[in-house]
Amino acid sequence: MKRKILLNSVILFLVASTLVSCDKTQIFDQYKTFDNGWHKDSIVSFDFEQEVSKKPLNMFVNIRNNDDYEFNNLFLIIKLEQPKGNIKIDTLEYQMANPDGTLMGEGFSDIKESKLWYKENFSFPEKGKYKVSIQQAVRQNGKVKGVEVLQGVTEIGFRIESLQENK
């Protein structure tokens, strides 16, 4: 099973690498990998430098998961830290499976990639270093305590895109 997941990850990486080289809207795109699921106390962070954006940008959370993901949805707590200390925190819910239980997302194997909206038409108000932190907050129905380890999540990414091609 691990060998199959590794092979699928390599294939997905090669396909993604090919697509990224042709991607003219990408401003920032980075991933972090999980070996044995996503622990509820594991906060994934992405640091990036950003100019003041005159034109609005779109931001996404990208999730790669496999058939071990057992939930229909995904709850995330996302924190955006701006250069002068202003912090914005959002708790977001995303649908991850169809009504029949099959995983949503792109992919031709058991690994699916979902591009999840974080902020649309966002303008960065100041120049400097930004930090986005993402934590999973999935809970089982009727239980207060969060899921200790979210199985099936293999990678999480953060992406910023311009609304038009970069030159």
Q: Above 70 in pLDDT, residue 17?
A: no
- pLDDT score of 20: 46
Domains and CATH numbers, the chain: 2-162 (2.60.120)
Sign, CA dihedral 142-33-76-86, equals: positive
- pLDDT score of 22: 61
pLDDT in tens, 90-99: 999 999 999 9
The model's pTM is: 0.81
pLDDT in tens, 51-90: 998 889 999 999 999 999 999 999 999 999 999 999 999 9
- pLDDT score of 155: 96
The residue behind tokens 């991933």 is 31
The residues, ordered by sequence, that sit 6+ positions from 13 with a Cβ below 8 Å of its Cβ are none
